[in-house]
Amino acid sequence: MFRFLTAGESHGPGLTVIVEGVPAGVSLTEEYIATQLARRQRGYGRGGRMKIESDFAEIRGGVRLGETLGSPIAMWIENKDFANWTEAMAIAPPEGQVDRKANTRVVPGHADFPGALKYMAHDMRNVLERSSARETAARVAAGAVARRFLEELSISLHSQVVSIGEVEADVSLDADWDAVEASEARAADPATGEKFIAAIDAAKDARTTIGGVFQVVAKGVPVGLGSHIQWDRKLDGRIAQAMMSVNAVKGVEIGRGFANTRRPGRDVHDVVVPDPSDPRRFARRSNEAGGIEGGMSNGEPIVAYVAIKPIATMTDPLPSVDINTGEVMEAPYHRSDICQVPPACVIGEAMMALVLAHAALEKFGGDHINETRRNLAGYIASHQEFGGGAAAPGGE
């Protein structure tokens, strides 16, 4: 059983993460996690806060002498900005009057309105502190743990920006991933990256915000993660939930799900053939299915496309209301980014990693990484029963 929880408010003391279920014996360091947190903090279009804070997750449980113990892994990401919020975000009850920095003006598109009514929050700060994108730092830390575990199973994760507004990239699953990492806009092609940046700049100049689409790719996933046998075991469903749960996400595809509705059946199914380089093995002519058939990984790269809406707070705010008085007024402008798509890629990778780690542990079990790997290896070897003695693809 793999599970994780996060806690903490955007301007509170910090973020707490518990990740449970990783086997013992996996090397894991704070530096490794910091590398992933830094990837989230890069990206063109990010606002001021990213410059204030360089996130660092301290490991506070579950790791000893550089290796996981099998026990729950606790992490703590201090909010350096809390120093400015010790009054408004104090844990303790106030002794006298405090400056609550109360939020009473609704930002349409945020959790403000439904959160106020659900939680009876007359100060919507009580809601938005938790619904803030700050929480995604905790997810990236959790995802880094999952990613480290997946590396032990030879599974790797990548992501790139597919579009910003109306500007589209020509993406490939065999992108130059180093180039992507080097790009502020997470584009493999520098010319495309420049167009992305121009689109973000244009939105800024227009005092609006801009969204886009990104792609997450998982390679080396063995065939057979997830299952067709019950609705909530399907791997695609679990990926869809994980992605849609990220702030600002409004759409998820496995493969190019929407575009493929326009093509004939003949063109969107991935023909199985003998592997040209080894006729005793199977291969695919295409990967329109995005690596998942019948709710299970099929040995091809898993490919998800994720739609990110434009950010809701703008320097030229939308009209709005005061939640308590009903008075019409402008929505507030919180210090904010213009475009979340490049950093959202990294969050998407984290969520993919968490789903795959969960699914891999369900299938392979194991309490020490050697046990999990031994079980995986035995499974892969069992594929030789198929295809006339050939090993079918998956995980190699």
What residues numbered 201-240 form the site for a second copy, per CB under 8 A? 203, 206, 208-213, 223-224, 227-234, 236-240
Q: Which of residues 275-314 bind a second copy (CB under 8 A)?
A: 279-280, 282, 284, 289-290, 293-299, 305, 307-312, 314
Kindly indicate which of the ranges 41-49, 147-155, 183-191, 200-208 contains the residues binding a second copy, using the contact rule CB under 8 A.
Answer: 200-208
Instruction: Verify binding: residue 86, a second copy, rule CB under 8 A.
Output: no
The token duo for 327 is 């008075």
* C-alpha dihedral sign at 137, 160, 155, 259: positive
Instruction: Verify binding: residue 25, a second copy, rule CB under 8 A.
Output: yes
Nearer to a second copy, 82 or 177 (CB): 82
Amino acid found at 166: E
Name the helix (H) or strand (E) containing 378.
helix 369-382
Instruction: Verify binding: residue 329, a second copy, rule CB under 8 A.
Output: no
Provide the edge-to-edge strand list for the sheet that holds 57-61.
Answer: 3-7, 14-20, 73-78, 57-61
Q: How far is it, in rounded angstroms, from Cα 76 to Cα 74?
A: 7
Site string for a second copy, 356-395 (x = CB under 8 A): -----xxxxxxxx-xx--xx--xx--xx-xxxx-x-x-x-
Nearer to a second copy, 124 or 180 (CB): 124
Nearer to a second copy, 42 or 100 (CB): 100
Closest CA to 375 of 384, 386, 393, 363: 363
Q: Which of residues 168-197 bind a second copy (CB under 8 A)?
A: none
- Strands 14-20 and 73-78 come out as antiparallel
Nearer to a second copy, 182 or 220 (CB): 220
Kindly indicate which of the ranges 43-51, 129-137, 174-182, 189-197 contains the residues binding a second copy, using the contact rule CB under 8 A.
Answer: 129-137
Pick the binder of a second copy from 166, 174, 178, 205 (CB under 8 A): 166
Ordered DSSP codes for 16-47: EEEEE-PPBT-B--HHHHHHHHHHHH--TT--
* Minimum distance from residue 178 beta carbon to a second copy (Å): 26
- Torsion, Cα 365 366 371 375, to 10 degrees, reads -10
Q: Which of residues 247-266 bind a second copy (CB under 8 A)?
A: 249-255, 257-258, 260-266
| Burial of 385 from C-beta contacts in 10 A (0-12 / 13-18 / 19+) | exposed
Nearer to a second copy, 39 or 139 (CB): 139
Pick the binder of a second copy from 34, 38, 74, 173 (CB under 8 A): 74
Q: Which of residues 130-149 bind a second copy (CB under 8 A)?
A: 130-131, 139
Q: How far is it, in rounded angstroms, from Cα 108 to Cα 328?
A: 13
Contacts (Cβ under 8 Å, ≥6 apart) of 67? 24, 25, 26, 27, 28
Amino acid found at 285: R
Closest CA to 122 of 110, 108, 104, 97: 104
Q: Which of residues 29-58 bind a second copy (CB under 8 A)?
A: 29-30, 58
Kindly indicate which of the ranges 38-46, 120-128, 151-159, 172-180 contains the residues binding a second copy, using the contact rule CB under 8 A.
Answer: 120-128
Tell me, by CB under 8 A, how many residues bind a second copy: 179
* Minimum distance from residue 183 beta carbon to a second copy (Å): 19
* Minimum distance from residue 39 beta carbon to a second copy (Å): 19
The token duo for 297 is 């990984």
Instruction: Verify binding: residue 12, a second copy, rule CB under 8 A.
Output: yes
Pick the binder of a second copy from 57, 59, 141, 155 (CB under 8 A): 59
